[in-house]
Amino acid sequence: FFKNMFSFTTSPIITINFSELEHRAKKQMRSYVVDDGKHMNTMELPVYGGQENVSGMVDISVPPGKKIEHLGVKIEMIGQTEICHEKNNNVKFTSLVRELESAGTMVQSKSYPFEFSTEKPYESYSGLNVRLRYFVRVTITRNYNSCVKDQDFAVENYSSVPLI
């Protein structure tokens, strides 16, 4: 009974792809997701410079024959600090938002290019108790359950060697 009652919701699949990944340096970063209670997972992230634009493509897949009613689709680039044992104590220091689509109905899969050009003043960091992370978040806002997908990237600020 309950399965049929809630089966009217169709969830799209959101994929975030950064541009030129094959030419970009990668960095191993610690994740705060603990896999077996003893080890922390690591993620391999693309590296961007503090002045570089972050760009790519968002793909939203709608299952064949289904439709997704939504109140809007947006993409954000967020920089925030997190204290690992306090989920509600995140501090955003950078947040840019772009609307990809206004309210409506999706009846087929769609792709949206994105580009964010802003200074990213702090380098990515992942320690035992604190993490400074940058990520792109796509949100499909709906009345009953919004769909959210995050994709992290690393930032390293390179400086030139001073001439003596």
Q: With bands split at pLDDT 50, 70 and 90, how would you rate the model's confidence at 72?
A: very high
Q: What pLDDT, on the 0 to 100 scale, is given for residue 48?
A: 94
SS3 24: coil
pLDDT by residue (tens digit) across 10-69? Answer: 789 999 999 988 889 899 887 755 444 455 678 899 999 999 999 999 999 999 999 999
Q: What pLDDT, on the 0 to 100 scale, is given for residue 35?
A: 45
Mean pLDDT across the stretch 104-115?
95
Name residue 57's beta-bridge partners: 17, 113
| 8 A C-beta contact, residue 71 and residue 129 | no
Going by C-alpha positions, the residue among 82, 64, 73 that lies closest to residue 137 is 73
| 8 A C-beta contact, residue 18 and residue 4 | no
| 8 A C-beta contact, residue 28 and residue 44 | yes
| 8 A C-beta contact, residue 48 and residue 123 | no
Higher-pLDDT residue of 6 and 45 is 45
Q: What pLDDT, on the 0 to 100 scale, is given for residue 40?
A: 61
| 8 A C-beta contact, residue 122 and residue 93 | yes
Q: With bands split at pLDDT 50, 70 and 90, how would you rate the model's confidence at 160?
A: low
Give the span between the Cα atoms of 88 and 82, in whole angstroms.
9
Element (H, E) at 4: helix 2-6
Give the span between the Cα atoms of 14 and 21, in whole angstroms.
18
Mean pLDDT across the stretch 67-88?
90
Q: With bands split at pLDDT 50, 70 and 90, how would you rate the model's confidence at 163?
A: low
Mean pLDDT of the chain, nearest integer: 86
